Amino acid sequence: MNIQNANWKPTTESIVDRARKIAPLVRAEALESERIGTMTPNVVAAMKEQGMFWMLVPRSLGGSQSRMSECMEAWEEISAADASAGWSLMANATGTAAATAFVSDEALATIYGGSEMPIMAGMLGPGGTSVETTEVTTELIA
């Protein structure tokens, strides 16, 4: 499926080069980000402009479809400038890409085909429910 987002701008710069380009701004805004408890609007805008939130999203959906090793290096660059911003970027980039593997084509078109690329966050941990019991078992439950 190719629902290329209209805002996608092809670039020859690697995601790592784009991270390096904005790292000085991230560093300069780190204290303000700490004060307000979130990335500053300037940092978010720079990350959007450089396509950082969509580094793992397939090209067909408007992302850069970067290799995981490149993403890790980009997160490292941003984290060196501001650890909280690096962590947030990692969480947003992986959360934004995760949906591409689990939703229908119709949902993909809705999520990624709009006038603005989405930025998502969430937890990729295991789901499930627990039930209180007094029984003790040593068996592994799959």
- What are the 10-residue block averages of pLDDT along the chain, 142 residues in total? 51 92 98 96 96 94 94 98 97 92 91 90 72 74 56
Q: Model pTM? A: 0.79
The whole-number pLDDT of residue 131 equals 80
Instruction: Give Cα 33 to chain centroid, integer Å.
Output: 18
The whole-number pLDDT of residue 102 equals 86
Return the closest-CA partner of residue 34 out of 22, 46, 45, 26.
26
Q: Quick one: three-class SS letters along 87-118?
A: HHHHHHHHHHHHHHHCCCHHHHHHHHCCCCCC
> Is residue 124 within 8 Å of residue 95, measured between CB atoms?
yes
